[in-house]
Each structure stands twice: as C-alpha cells, then as structure tokens.
Amino acid sequence: MIDLYAWATPNSRKVTILLEELGLAYRLHPVQIRLGEQHRHQFLAINPNNKIPALVDHETGIQTFESGAILIYLAEKTGRFLPKSGQARAATLHWLMWQMSGFGPMLGNLEHFSKLNPGRSADAEAHFQREIRRLYGVLNGRLGETDHLNGDAYSIADMATWP
C-alpha cells in the first residue's frame, strides 16, 4: 500500500495523475499547506524540506519526497511511463529535469510576484514573465516536432509538465 502526502497543487497532481494511470491503490493524506501542516513534526520526518508531495511505499519500505523522484520511483516500480534504455529514456529524463528545474520553479516565481504580490517588484515580474514566455516557446517548439515530450510515448515527463 502507498501513502501519499499531498494537496491540490501542480506538484502533487503529477503524482496523483501517475498513480491513477497505473491503477495503484493509495491512501491520500491531505497536507494543508496554507495552514502550515507541512511544518509538523510527523510530516518533516518524511520530508525535511517541508514540501509536498511525499510518498511512503509500505511494500518496499521506501519513502521519498520531490515529485520528480516519486515519478521515477513509481515508473521503475511498475515498468511503465519511463523507457528502460536508449534515447527515449534520456529524453524522458531531460524533459523531466527541465520541468523540475525550470518550468516548475519559474512558474512558481511568476505566480508569487504577479498573482500573489502584484506591484511589489515590477522588475521581478518582468524578469519572470520573460522567462516563462521563453519556456513556453521551448515547450511549443518541442511539441511541434513530436507528439510527446520524450519523442516516443506518453511518459512521466508529460505528467510532470501538464499540471
């Protein structure tokens, strides 16, 4: 059985979408981040970085945080949505990392300045707007060449980016 600690956010939905695709049974433990539940001791024991999502797999005893790590874990556990070798595996991993390190954090930054704190820093708003336009351009360019990000089939790279 899998315990998933999550909330209705883009990083959590990556994992719930993959779990639903896989048809794996899981128990959802809502962590209300607006109420600060990610700072509770029981949760910090699973993720010392106080962020959702985090997962505990009782079958293997593995517990892991960071959505990208959880996606790779579940894909390898089931042998699905992450090609085992070759350029398709390489491309799945680099587009997943592109989402984890670029698209995800930059959308978060833009949201912080433009949506949650408009007017606080015009410079930061412009900086992140430029970066997000650039990243959408990169994404659109890639999807002009192939149906799915890894150039092969629906994978965890798409599931990480879609939410």
Partner 1 sequence: MIDLYSWGTPNGRKITIMLEELGLEYTMHPINIAKDDQFKPEFLAISPNNKIPAIVDTDNGQTLFESGAILMYLAEKTGKFMPTEDKARWATIEWLMFQMGGVGPMMGQTHHFVKYNADKSAYASDRYLTETKRLYKVMDARLANNEWLNGDSYSIADIATWPWVARHDWQTVDLNDYPNVARWYKTIAARPATQRGWNVPETEQKIPMP
> CA 17, CA 24: separation in Å to the nearest integer?
11
Helix count (H) and strand count (E) of the chain?
Answer: 7, 4
Residues 63-122, interacting with partner 1 (CB under 8 A): 64-69, 72-73, 86-87, 90, 93-98, 100-102, 104-106, 109, 112-113, 117, 120-121
Asked whether 150 and 88 are in contact (CB, 8 A), the reply is yes
Q: Please state, as a whole number, how many other Cβ atoms lie within 10 Å of the Cβ of residue 35.
A: 10
Asked whether 100 and 159 are in contact (CB, 8 A), the reply is no
Of 63-71, 82-90, 135-143, 151-159, the window that binds ligand GSH (rule: CB under 6 A) is 63-71
Using CB under 6 A, pick the residue from 32, 60, 87, 101 that binds ligand GSH: 101
Contacts with partner 1, residue ranges (CB under 8 A): 48-49, 60-62, 64-69, 72-73, 86-87, 90, 93-98, 100-102, 104-106, 109, 112-113, 117, 120-121, 123-124, 127, 135, 138, 141-142
